[in-house]
Chains A and B, each alone.
Chain A
Amino acid sequence: MFPDHRRDLYLPLLGAAVLFGALVGGGLLYQIAVGGSAERLVTAMLIDAIMVLGLQIYVGNTGVLSFGHMGFGAIAGYTFAIFAVGSDRKVGAPFGLESVVVSPAVATGIAVVVTLAAAVAIGIGLARSGAKSGAVAATVITLALLFVTHEVARNWIALTGGERAGLSFGIGEKLSSRLPVYLALFAALVVARLYSRSRSGQLAVAAREDNLAARAMGINPLVQQMAALLVSVVVVAVAASLRVFEFGTILPDLFFFDYTLLTLVMLIVGGRNSVSGAVLGVAVITVGRELARRTGSDGFEIFGVGLDGAPLDWVFREGLPTVFLGLAMLGFMIWRPVGILDDWEVDSWLHRRLHRSADARPEPLPELAAPTPVTLTAQGIDVRFGGFQALSDAGLVANSGEVVGIIGPNGAGKTTFVNVITGLVEPTGGTFRIGDADLTAAPTHELARAGLVRTFQNLRLFGALTVQANVETVSLVAREHRPGRDRVDPDALIADVGLWDHRDRRARELDYGNSRRLELARAAALAPAFLLLDEPTSGMSDSESLDMVEQVRRVAATVGAGVIVIDHDLNFITGISDRIYVFDQGRVIAEGTPAEVQANPLVKAAYLGSAAID
């Protein structure tokens, strides 16, 4: 689960401890400075922090914007309350719950279980809708959850007490010690940090950065999103139980739009992509809101500094805290949507400080013979879009250890063919197999796991991740889904393609040639049986293309993979291929060695237009 114990286990734990110390320490200092009146504020802040961490685990790692997490909060909060409050405070509760009273700890446990069940249902729904970073469908489904829980809470009065009574703890039954909050906060920090360093977390982040590329690397984003959601709601359920316990009463509005706004602003301001950011956001917004509240009600007098408030009266009014939240949300969305910290983590920073010099450049990788020869066969592939026949009876055979080229003019159907064998387009006819496995119309991630890994013409790297993380993430997939293949050392791959000195840079900061090299290394990290390269030289000069030939040959030999390469550049294709297929008008019009293909008049005609045959 954690490949590198130091980096993925001990340092995140250290990071959690540092963040815990900072937030709790800050809160206690403030309490000492202000006195007992600040106690509830600090407790509320710590509970908010747990809630925001729960939100961060899902939103941060998957990039899916959830408005519904307070819906989960409501489910957890009511479950907690209905089990924990005394019988006299829930007279007439259905299902015999009136007589059931358990300790707050047990009630929290029940809340976690119930919320998890709800999350499984919602998660399946999100998966079916094809949740993706920022998708409207996900927003609507999560909003539906929020509204439905709110409406049920308002109207199922026997269970929830409705809008007036709610469910309340008696005097003296409320949360009286802060110990549970401390424990839960520390646990939430540990869970959030460990999840983002876990295999699932890293795969989810890769899918957040580029959903299609992640699928092409064998990642199933829906599984990782579900995992993130389940981990996330556990933390949310604990936070919600604590919030109800601390507040003493639950009413429908306790987990509705206002709290959704507050927690989202906290997450966005600090930086949704990091745990440190979530914690910072909680601190910044709590301080800002408290200042707004105090100045709003008392005029402009903070910490004994008294200014004549009169000319500023128009600013310092009640309602200022919400205005502050709205402005913070807008301001950050307009000027800095990634938040203050973006994806900066305190422990990763420590890791870089402490660890850097120890890494030595790894040895070059030896060439591997193809473990067992495999044949990839596409036969009789037909694709029809409406009335347009994009492919008719197209096919191709490639063997491991061999380099097969595909050429053809624009509109010849090459891209459609690639889309068929990578699972993006379902063929109307034909079969596609790798070895004995029939993979016709299999989803993209399964094709990748079966050994066919592609690169993209327009470069689809995991932009925010470092070079190293791009390759390592895919290596995690290889470990699980490419059994029987020797694991390719990611560091050695990075060094092999000449990116060792850039390994800590973000992929989106690389120049073009290096981005291409990284795509190659990333694809190779999956230990593929076949590398499919889509226009690997587009946008390269002739000399760069020649370098690329060498690079492709070397990497393919290193991982023992066959190569299928599509390109418009005949020089490049003939230089690299053992055999070439020529596509035109959705058909394969020629096949043979580079020399045969170059001599074929049909090929010339396809490229220069029909009149060239004359």
Chain B
Amino acid sequence: MIELLQNLIDGLGRGSIYALLALGVAVIFGVMHLLNFAHGELITVSGYAGYAAFQAGWSWYLVAPLVVVVSIVTSLVIERLAFSRVRGASDFTLLLTSFGIHFLVSAIFLMYVSASVKSFPRPGWVANTYSIGPLTVEVFDTVVIGVTIVTLAVTVAILQKTMFGLALRAAAADFDAARLMGVRSDSVIRGAFALSGFLAGIAAIFWLMRAGNTTPTAGSDPMLKGVLAALIGGLGSLRGAVLGGLALGLAEVLLRSQLPASVAELTEGVVFVLIALLFIFRPQGLITVAHAERV
């Protein structure tokens, strides 16, 4: 029982980061029907920005906002340079475009920074723990869960209360109908990329804090988690993406604690197979943004 509670807390901490990543993937899928394999590159780019700032002697309190800003700007730049040019293209083209960006960004860092791991100091409290009765809780997990709750609350407020949020939801539901209401497609798509960049930026802070370093391929792993969690949640669904992220985090922790070490290594593979099986047996249930076949 206690072990289960412990796993729950660990899983929520992990899952919170995935939820932020998945939400960013889902937002983009909603407005562009694009499964964004380049999402993790926001973490690569902002990670190097953070590294540069540490070299210049900045502290985490300054680096954290910088990471978020860089992530937003990167997201917008990628949209402008690449995705805006393939808007409305086939899924085939969209997927390969994001796949290409994923490789291009890491190759550019490989070329201009170096292949080696760039380390930076982790904040002192990251490894600290405290106890509640028999439970040992990481300070880090507590902060992650807290910040995620705040970030999600802000995101929900944006989506529910602001005109931009309404426009984004409307465009995700029916793009042409939203345009008929006067919603500008350029603004809403750029807004979606900015929001996605913001969420990835918050996730990046924690990802980098936990890792304490960055590499040219640092984006691959978060990209995978974000895409998987968004898939679990049904891709177009924002609520589903958050739940998908938490579910993925919990699943990883539980599988790791329950299964022998050699099998637990396969968690990602297992999750991937489960999702593939869902697609195979319930293809219409997974993608909520279904496109009816028109004759």
- Judge whether A147 and B269 touch: CB under 8 Å: yes
Nearest residue (CB) in A for B89 is A337
- Judge whether B272 and A329 touch: CB under 8 Å: no
- Judge whether A456 and B295 touch: CB under 8 Å: yes
Known: A148-B272, A151-B268, A155-B262. A325 touches B103 (CB 8 A): yes
Tell me the A246-285 residues at the B interface (CB within 8 Å): 257, 261, 264-265, 268
Known: A137-B283, A458-B295. A147 touches B268 (CB 8 A): yes
Segment at the interface with A among B20-28, B90-98, B171-179, B184-192: B90-98
Chain A: minimal CB distance from B289 (Å): 10
- Judge whether A330 and B268 touch: CB under 8 Å: no
Tell me whether A128 is interfacial, beta carbon within 8 Å: yes
Tell me whether A152 is interfacial, beta carbon within 8 Å: yes
Chain A: minimal CB distance from B256 (Å): 13
Residues of B within 8 A of A329 (CB): 96-97, 99-100, 103-104
Known: A136-B91, A212-B295. A155 touches B110 (CB 8 A): no
Nearest residue (CB) in B for A331 is B100
- Judge whether A151 and B269 touch: CB under 8 Å: yes
- Judge whether B276 and A140 touch: CB under 8 Å: yes
Per the bound structure, the CA–CA distance linking A411 and B92 in Å amounts to 35
Per the bound structure, the CA–CA distance linking A67 and B286 in Å amounts to 20
- Judge whether A323 and B276 touch: CB under 8 Å: no
Chain A: minimal CB distance from B230 (Å): 11
- Judge whether B103 and A129 touch: CB under 8 Å: no
Residues of B within 8 A of A65 (CB): 91-92, 95-96
Known: A264-B99, A334-B86. A128 touches B269 (CB 8 A): no
Tell me whether A154 is interfacial, beta carbon within 8 Å: yes
Residues of A within 8 A of B107 (CB): 319, 322-323, 325-326
Tell me the A172-219 residues at the B interface (CB within 8 Å): 212
Residues of A within 8 A of B99 (CB): 67, 261, 264, 329
Per the bound structure, the CA–CA distance linking A406 and B235 in Å amounts to 41
- Judge whether B112 and A317 touch: CB under 8 Å: yes
- Judge whether B272 and A144 touch: CB under 8 Å: yes
- Judge whether A63 and B295 touch: CB under 8 Å: no
Chain A: minimal CB distance from B246 (Å): 20
Per the bound structure, the CA–CA distance linking A323 and B101 in Å amounts to 10
Tell me the B214-259 residues at the A interface (CB within 8 Å): 220, 231, 235
Residues of B within 8 A of A261 (CB): 99, 103
Tell me whether B127 is interfacial, beta carbon within 8 Å: no
Tell me whether B82 is interfacial, beta carbon within 8 Å: yes
Tell me whether A457 is interfacial, beta carbon within 8 Å: yes
Tell me whether A320 is interfacial, beta carbon within 8 Å: yes
> Tally of A-B residue pairs with Cβ under 8 A?
139
Chain B: minimal CB distance from A358 (Å): 38
Chain B: minimal CB distance from A145 (Å): 8
- Judge whether B231 and A140 touch: CB under 8 Å: yes
Tell me whether A139 is interfacial, beta carbon within 8 Å: yes
Residues of A within 8 A of B163 (CB): none
- Judge whether B266 and A152 touch: CB under 8 Å: yes
Residues of B within 8 A of A135 (CB): 91
Tell me whether A41 is interfacial, beta carbon within 8 Å: no
Chain B: minimal CB distance from A253 (Å): 11
Per the bound structure, the CA–CA distance linking A154 and B269 in Å amounts to 11
Tell me whether A223 is interfacial, beta carbon within 8 Å: no
Tell me whether B111 is interfacial, beta carbon within 8 Å: yes
Nearest residue (CB) in A for B83 is A334
Per the bound structure, the CA–CA distance linking A534 and B295 in Å amounts to 10
- Judge whether A130 and B283 touch: CB under 8 Å: yes
Tell me the A312-330 residues at the B interface (CB within 8 Å): 314, 317-320, 322-323, 325-327, 329-330
Per the bound structure, the CA–CA distance linking A147 and B266 in Å amounts to 10
Tell me whether A488 is interfacial, beta carbon within 8 Å: no
- Judge whether A333 and B276 touch: CB under 8 Å: no
Chain B: minimal CB distance from A256 (Å): 11
Tell me whether B281 is interfacial, beta carbon within 8 Å: yes
Per the bound structure, the CA–CA distance linking A143 and B93 in Å amounts to 17
Tell me whether B35 is interfacial, beta carbon within 8 Å: yes
Chain B: minimal CB distance from A312 (Å): 13
Per the bound structure, the CA–CA distance linking A21 and B127 in Å amounts to 63
10 A-B residue contacts at CB 8 Å?
A125-B280, A137-B279, A151-B269, A155-B266, A264-B96, A264-B99, A322-B106, A329-B100, A329-B104, A337-B89
Using a CB–CB cutoff of 8 Å, the interface residues on chain A facing chain B are 63, 65, 67, 125, 128-130, 133-137, 139-141, 143-145, 147-148, 150-152, 154-155, 212, 257, 261, 264-265, 268, 314, 317-320, 322-323, 325-327, 329-330, 333-334, 337, 415, 418-419, 424, 456-458, 534
For the complex of A and B, the 10 pairs showing the least CB-CB separation, nearest first, are: A326-B104, A319-B111, A329-B100, A322-B107, A134-B91, A144-B276, A151-B269, A319-B110, A134-B92, A144-B272
